[in-house]
Amino acid sequence: MRPNTLLKKIKAGQPILGTWSMTCSRAVVEAMGYAGLDFVIIDMEHGVMSMETAEDLVRAAQVSGCQPIIRLGNADESLILKALETGCGALMIPHVSTPAQAQKIVQACKYAPEGTRGLSPYTRPHEFDHANIQKSMAENNKDTFVGVLVEGEAGIKNLESIAQVPGLDMIYTGIFDISQVMGVPGQLDHPKVMDTQKKCVAACKSNNVMPGTFARDENCLKETKEMGYQFIAYSCDSHVLKKSYKAIADAF
């Protein structure tokens, strides 16, 4: 298994920057890695991405030195297993609202005795070989990055207890969903949304879990960094491409 660069940066307390991949394009993902991004989140909840395409994007990210993260649509254990078999080494699972859900996700990402992850040596995480399988399993358990998304009212209420789940590396707060919960849909700079984000950051840091969130533009990127978010996903590939080419077309 390739070393997980995110875990080293988490332990060092470094802020890390990445983006979302919505285009299903290997070339775009590879280019984002060469641009210097720390990670790219391969979105399998929204859009039309298949697992085969996701595996190709994982390879493209790794080629250019960028950490791939697969965001699944739910916490189904068989889906978690398939995603990890791509060799991504990092997952984000949405719609987590209780510590029990988070604990079950962590266990699904870890081999025995730490968890319940199914084993086949003949996959990317083990370089398609049963030689030294016990060492490989231990390395996977150590290096697999486990993140959850807290997006609803119950999840925000339980965030402190979710952050206490052993083996959880990151809690990502979905600010668009938080704005809806606060009764101000889409108003990401509303005081209610900002206050909730600050509380989420404090709860994560007090439990040694990395706080993560989304930044839709440069101002939001600056605000979230100053707020103490360590894991920041800036926009997504499809929007950045449209925005950049629209500016060029308008100028022309």
Read off the pLDDT of residues 55-103 as tens digits, 9 standing for 90 and up. 999 999 999 999 999 999 999 999 999 999 999 999 999 999 999 999 9
Task: Please tell me the predicted confidence (pLDDT) of residue 1.
Answer: 65
CB distance 152 to 94 below 8 Å: no
> With bands split at pLDDT 50, 70 and 90, how would you rate the model's confidence at 20?
very high
Q: Global pTM?
A: 0.94
Q: In the predicted model, what is the mean pLDDT of the chain? A: 94
Q: How many CB atoms lie within 10 A of CB 22?
A: 19
The size of the chain, in residues, is 252
Give the DSSP H or E segment for 16.
Answer: strand 16-21
Interatomic CA distance for residues 151 and 203, integer angstroms: 15
Residues 6+ apart with CB under 8 A from 78: none
CB distance 65 to 83 below 8 Å: no
Give the side-chain half-sphere CA count within 13 A for 210.
27
Q: Which two tokens stand for residue 65?
A: 């030195």
- Please provide the CATH number assigned to the domain covering 5-251: 3.20.20.60
Please classify residue 190 by burial: count the beta carbons closer than 10 Å to its beta carbon, then call 0-12 exposed, 13-18 middle and 19+ buried: middle
Q: Which residues pair with 145 in a beta bridge?
A: 90
